[in-house]
Chain A
Amino acid sequence: MTQTQPQLDVHLANRREIEGQLPGSTDWVSDLRRRGLETYEEEGWPTQDEEAWKYTSLQAARETEYASPLTLDEADVSREDLAEFTFDATTAQLVFVNGRYRADLSNLDAVPEAATVRPLADVLDEDPGRVRGLLGEYAEPEDEPLTGLNTANFADGAYVEVPETEVVEAPIHVLYLTTDVGEPIAVHPRTLIVAHESSQVPVVETYAGLDDVEAFTNAVTEVFTAKNATVDHVKLNRESPETIHVGTQEFEQDRDSVVRSNTVTFGSKLTRNNVYDMLVGEGIDANLNGLYMGTDDQHIDNYTRIRHDEPHGDSHQLYKGILDDSSRGVFRGTIFVSPGAQKTDGYQHNPNMIVSEDALANSVPQLEIFADDVKCSHGSTTGDVDDKWIFYLRSRGLSEDQARDLIVYSFAGEVVEDITIEPARDTVRELVLDNLDHGDAVRDAL
């Protein structure tokens, strides 16, 4: 920025402007927002001096003069505009455009009766008691300054709650869209997913941008999986190439619960995914995978932390990166095993494929183990496409380009084919092919 003396932080200025419009005037919500604001004001933006942000700079997000879209007119978006991001018409869908809920674009007919799927703002205005003790409980405002900022500034988001023993089979799709409004905008979407005892629910979150919008998305997703419940989850980043995306997902799992989550990144010029999972009961199964495909000068940083607090927990992380052009992929993951979390089985693997001379990969898989009767391992590999494989495929009649892209496609396949939510899996598979230089040739070869 050319400005020499930055005045008030743009996000704080935005907050002042929109304060009156934010949902939730109840004391405890105000208190939560105040705590978020204090954290953000006290700790400020993360800098590269901090170990957790060593490879990623958010300076651009800090210095750009973002406006809050709440101060602007509602965007003119039709169902056709979002068609490329949605699943079929029968899928339950919540659509937020530039931070605001759009009933006209959403589809709540398909939501099973037992489940609650609503915009969070409505819940906070009409029935705030419903989310008391849940909202801000798993992603606490004090966890990180940007989680604090989200708590202080969020205007809306999705609330998904499934009662005991209820099984929701069809996925619920939450689409957060940003559109070009002529100036850079900052949005702070907030998602809360609560799966009560022995329930089951699949949720897909898509973050997408239209028309090369320049946006800053600071998303926070809280997911509580109660005893014996199962949550399938996909977070899909299809933001515009001008967008900076910071997304924090905080999972908490009670005993015998299952989480199968995939964090898939195609979009944004800069992405930081924080994925945290607290395993607070026994016998938990946590499956947190990721896929990132970098092109141009994209920077994609995945930061995970799985904390095993109780015995017999299994956690599995597979983060695969494909880095083309001058993109950069960062993976930093930690398995933390508390004293007493015996019989933990923790696994973490980060293979990276660098397919261009100018791409970079940084990988920091970490183990912090304080219990002795555990089995924990991690691995990381980095390399380009193996010439032997290309030779094998060429000897079977594929061109070099086809062979190379087919290998990349199958490399991604290990994550893609394990996505448990079918429409999301199909979408991701197509997006992988779209991102390959010779995707069509691979389609032909398949």
Chain B
Amino acid sequence: MTPPESKTIEEIADEDYEHGWSMDIPATEAPKGLNEEIVEYISEENDEPEWLKEWRLKAYNHWTEMEEPDWPNVEYPPIDFQDMKYYSAPEAGEEEDAPESLDEVDDEILEMYERLGIPLGEQKRLQGVAVDAVVDSVSVATTFKEELEDMGVIFCPISEAVQDYPDIVKKHLGSVVPITDNFYATLNSAVFSDGSFCYVPEGVECPLELSTYFRMNAEGTGQFERTLIVAEPDSYVSYLEGCTAPARRDHQLHAAVVELIAKDNAEIKYSTVQNWYPGDEEGEGGVYNFVTKRGKAAGRNSKISWAQVETGSAITWKYPSCILAGDGSVGEFYSVAITSRHQQADTGTKMIHLGDDTSSTIISKSISADQGQNTYRGQVKINEGAENARNRSECDSMLIGDECGAHTFPYIDVENPTAQMEHEATTTKIGEDQMFYLEQRGLDEEDAVRMIVNGFAEEVLDELPMEFAVEARNLLGIKLEGSVG
């Protein structure tokens, strides 16, 4: 194995959060605060049908009666939900001048994505990735739409899907994460602005990796995107999600909902590299990432696989889950979560086994450095009627420095004797013997640590599509800058 590209500590320290810049893009915004009018405003801005408006209002009214959850193992000052904007659209994204092709996308937005290293242009074709770019509340560009349409794959902003494919959206929206699900999911149902929609028809193996890149730009806005992926029988799709945000002194709220539905023999692979702004060294600012992700392996032998690299956000609170309803369905969860400075993460998964012969795998690797707090929280539930269910869970934590914390809270609920369950968790630090071995072979301390950390996370990184894996490896290195020694 060749060592990752070496950089001096100073260089790395200067890198810091490289996506912390923001741009002045003219935007249409909703006023601060949340009430029925705002919900209606968002609905009207998106020119939505009546049923969706009603659906949102129902969610909003339910939300007003809900209490913010306090069980996650994270601490933050109370969020003032009235002191926040719930809608911000870059003006180029206004529907009357919606870009027909990339040539019409506002130069500033293109430039922003260039700076993020996500070119929306031609070169992406070579990498075989179709990108949906979401800035603040709306989708600004989607590449390769036509090529996908030829195969029958629909990949477009969900706001467009509501207009163009209302039946599919209506049938599936909220079917995995109902509007009453939890505080943040319900809030999202009320105010979600945009997000990606993907529909893969029967028998189609999606030839491109589909990707959404989320970017928060405007100040004082929350981002509430909603993603819906439907895979019809015998289809396959791999979906990537990336996120960044500018460095702001205020905390920004990101409350997304992702719903996946896999029918008979279908497979959905969902990968995330989450690099929202984590706040500065003192813990000022940073994104609150409160996300609900759930997939339903509804069909026989269907499969849902989550892979996530969580490096950003001041607070991460998310549990990508699988409901294994179909007989023989498979759920997978691969996660690397890294917290440094004052970051807190409470993340994990739920595997709910309902069908017979279902199996699930959970591999979670958490790395805590500085004052970072990292919690794995997960549930594996084998329902009474789920015969021959199988689960293997592995949750490993690595601690770097003596002020951080690593916590593991797995819930294992077995109601059927034919289940085979294994859960294992370990907590360790980087061994002195490992460091000694690498250093005596000429690696400096920083590289040795990178190599050990990459090795620690290898099992998960291997699950990521290649270019994401490269980005993830680099992120891991950057995040640990200054934490070692």
For the complex, is B207 an interface residue (Cβ under 8 Å from A)?
Answer: no
Q: Are A377 and B421 in contact (CB under 8 A)?
A: no
Q: Are A355 and B425 in contact (CB under 8 A)?
A: no
CB distance from B406 to the nearest CB of A (A): 5
CB distance from A344 to the nearest CB of B (A): 9
For the complex, is A315 an interface residue (Cβ under 8 Å from B)?
Answer: no
Q: Are B412 and A372 in contact (CB under 8 A)?
A: no
For the complex, is A21 an interface residue (Cβ under 8 Å from B)?
Answer: no
Q: Are B397 and A381 in contact (CB under 8 A)?
A: no
Q: Which of chain B's residues have a CB closer than 8 A to the CB of A363?
A: 410-414, 423
Given A364-B411, A384-B418, is A369 in contact with B423 using a C-beta cutoff of 8 Å? no
User: Which of A365, A372, A379, A383 is the one whose CB lies under 8 Å from B401?
Assistant: A372
CB neighbors of A among B420-435 (8 A):
420-429
Q: Are B407 and A367 in contact (CB under 8 A)?
A: yes
For the complex, is B324 an interface residue (Cβ under 8 Å from A)?
Answer: no
User: Which of A352, A374, A381, A384 is the one whose CB lies under 8 Å from B427?
Assistant: A374
Given A372-B400, A372-B429, is A367 in contact with B422 using a C-beta cutoff of 8 Å? no
For the complex, is A339 an interface residue (Cβ under 8 Å from B)?
Answer: yes
Interface of B is mostly: strand
Q: Are B405 and A370 in contact (CB under 8 A)?
A: yes
For the complex, is A443 an interface residue (Cβ under 8 Å from B)?
Answer: no
Q: Are A379 and B406 in contact (CB under 8 A)?
A: no
For the complex, is B221 an interface residue (Cβ under 8 Å from A)?
Answer: no
**Bound form: Cα–Cα A355–B414 in Å:** 12
Interface size in chain B (residues, C-beta < 8 A): 33
For the complex, is B408 an interface residue (Cβ under 8 Å from A)?
Answer: yes
Q: Which of chain A's residues have a CB closer than 8 A to the CB of B46?
A: none
User: Which of B399, B401, B422, B429 is the one whose CB lies under 8 Å from A381?
Assistant: B422
For the complex, is A74 an interface residue (Cβ under 8 Å from B)?
Answer: no
**Bound form: Cα–Cα A384–B406 in Å:** 32
**Bound form: Cα–Cα A361–B391 in Å:** 14
For the complex, is A152 an interface residue (Cβ under 8 Å from B)?
Answer: no
**Bound form: Cα–Cα A352–B420 in Å:** 10
Which residues of B are interface residues toward A (Cβ below 8 A)? 71, 397, 399-429
Knowing that A366-B410, A381-B422 touch, tell me 11 more A-B residue pairs with CB under 8 angstroms: A360-B414, A361-B414, A363-B413, A363-B423, A367-B408, A369-B405, A378-B408, A379-B424, A382-B420, A382-B421, A383-B420
Q: Which of chain B's residues have a CB closer than 8 A to the CB of A370?
A: 404-405
Given A380-B421, A383-B419, is A367 in contact with B414 using a C-beta cutoff of 8 Å? no
CB distance from B297 to the nearest CB of A (A): 22
> Which chain A residue shows the least CB distance to B424?
A379
For the complex, is A22 an interface residue (Cβ under 8 Å from B)?
Answer: no
Q: Are A354 and B414 in contact (CB under 8 A)?
A: yes
Given A379-B422, A382-B419, is A369 in contact with B409 using a C-beta cutoff of 8 Å? no
**Which interface class (under 10, 10 to 19, 20 to 34, 35 or more) fits A?**
35 or more
- Name 20 A/B residue pairs within 8 A (Cβ), A-sorted: A339-B402, A354-B419, A357-B416, A360-B414, A362-B412, A363-B410, A363-B413, A364-B409, A364-B411, A365-B408, A367-B406, A370-B405, A374-B427, A375-B428, A378-B424, A381-B420, A381-B422, A381-B423, A383-B417, A383-B420
For the complex, is A414 an interface residue (Cβ under 8 Å from B)?
Answer: no
Q: Which one of B403, B413, B422, B427 has the greatest number of beta carbons of chain A within 10 Å?
A: B427
Q: Which of chain A's residues have a CB closer than 8 A to the CB of B418?
A: 384
Q: Are B410 and A364 in contact (CB under 8 A)?
A: yes
Q: Which of chain A's residues have a CB closer than 8 A to the CB of B422?
A: 379-381
Which residues of A are interface residues toward B (Cβ below 8 A)? 51, 339-340, 342, 352, 354-357, 359-384
Given A362-B411, A372-B399, A372-B404, is A367 in contact with B425 using a C-beta cutoff of 8 Å? yes
CB distance from B335 to the nearest CB of A (A): 16
Q: Are B409 and A366 in contact (CB under 8 A)?
A: yes
User: Which of A364, A374, A381 is the one whose CB lies under 8 Å from B421?
Assistant: A381
Given A357-B416, A380-B412, is A368 in contact with B407 using a C-beta cutoff of 8 Å? yes
CB distance from B403 to the nearest CB of A (A): 7
**Bound form: Cα–Cα A62–B152 in Å:** 62
Q: Which of chain B's residues have a CB closer than 8 A to the CB of A384?
A: 417-418
Q: Are A366 and B407 in contact (CB under 8 A)?
A: yes
Q: Are A377 and B425 in contact (CB under 8 A)?
A: yes
CB distance from A206 to the nearest CB of B (A): 30
CB distance from A375 to the nearest CB of B (A): 6
Q: Which of chain A's residues have a CB closer than 8 A to the CB of B406?
A: 367, 369
Q: Are A357 and B417 in contact (CB under 8 A)?
A: yes
Q: Are A379 and B423 in contact (CB under 8 A)?
A: yes
